[in-house]
């Protein structure tokens, strides 16, 4: 399929894991992709990989998504270099897990500023070119932790629940300009983060998943590609859970 021919996609947190898979999927379907990561090395690695598969399909950018002015400057640069933005995928996220009674304020701020405020920054600065074109897709990567909570993740759960509220409010604001806004809530996905889980915890998690396996980054990328495509033109303000049945 080539659902994204002549479209420009911005993917944050695209240096590895789910973001990498999303950027690869959109590029494979014809999009030109702005690959964004906090790490310039990771952004460049992903961009080079995509360009090997399809020449001139990606460019790398490094930014701290929590830095509002830096994001504003970068968004202006991306619009200038690409000419437009059709799709925004807010995937950048971090964890700083700890029980709430022992959580330093700095850990709360770092997670909320990256996961939630970072998504707001990009949506704020890229919605204007979408509205001007009367077309756009914004997809926020939330989490099942934002739906059901998770002990030891009050900061992460709050940030991901906040993304759902952000999604629904933006969907109402932008619907009149043919810009849809949706969220995807992954469950446990096989990434660097989940690879660090102890074996006993992995076993406990698998018991809670009816499909009895972790998902793959490509499972999330496939759903994002649909939601971000012209085919999903009548879907907005929704949260799509991709979790093997974990929270059904």
- Catalytic amino acids? 156
Beta strands in 164-246 (DSSP E): 179-186, 239-242
∠ CA(95), CA(228), CA(220), 5° rounding? 45
Beta strands in 102-238 (DSSP E): 136-141, 179-186
How many CA atoms lie less than 13 Å away from 39 in the CB half-sphere?
A: 11
115 close to 64: Cβ distance less than 8 angstroms: no
Which tokens go with 53? 């598969």
Maximal CA-CA distance, the chain: 52
């Amino acid at each position: 399929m080539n659902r994204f021919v002549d479209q420009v996609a911005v993917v944050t947190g695209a240096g590895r894991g789910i973001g990498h898979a999303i950027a690869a999927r959109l590029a494979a379907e014809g999009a030109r992709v702005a690959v964004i990561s906090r790490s310039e090395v990771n952004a460049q690695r992903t961009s080079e990989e995509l360009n090997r598969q399809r020449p001139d399909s990606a460019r790398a950018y490094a930014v701290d998504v929590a830095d509002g002015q830096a994001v504003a400057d970068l968004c202006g640069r991306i619009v200038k270099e690409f000419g437009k933005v059709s799709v925004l995928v807010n995937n950048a996220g971090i964890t700083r897990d700890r029980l709430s009674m022992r959580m330093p304020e700095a850990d709360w701020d770092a997670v909320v500023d990256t996961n939630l405020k970072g998504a707001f920054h990009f949506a704020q600065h890229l919605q204007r070119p979408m509205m001007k074109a009367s077309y756009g897709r914004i997809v926020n990567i939330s989490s099942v932790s934002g739906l059901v909570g998770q002990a030891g993740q009050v900061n992460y759960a709050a940030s991901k629940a906040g993304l759902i509220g952000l999604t629904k409010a933006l969907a109402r604001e932008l619907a009149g300009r043919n810009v849809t806004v949706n969220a995807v809530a992954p469950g446990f996905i096989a990434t660097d983060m989940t690879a660090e889980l102890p074996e006993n915890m992995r076993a406990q998690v698998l018991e809670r998943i009816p499909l009895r396996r972790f998902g793959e980054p490509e499972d999330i990328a496939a759903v994002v590609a649909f939601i971000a495509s012209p085919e999903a033109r009548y879907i907005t303000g929704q949260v799509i859970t991709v979790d093997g049945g974990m929270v059904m």
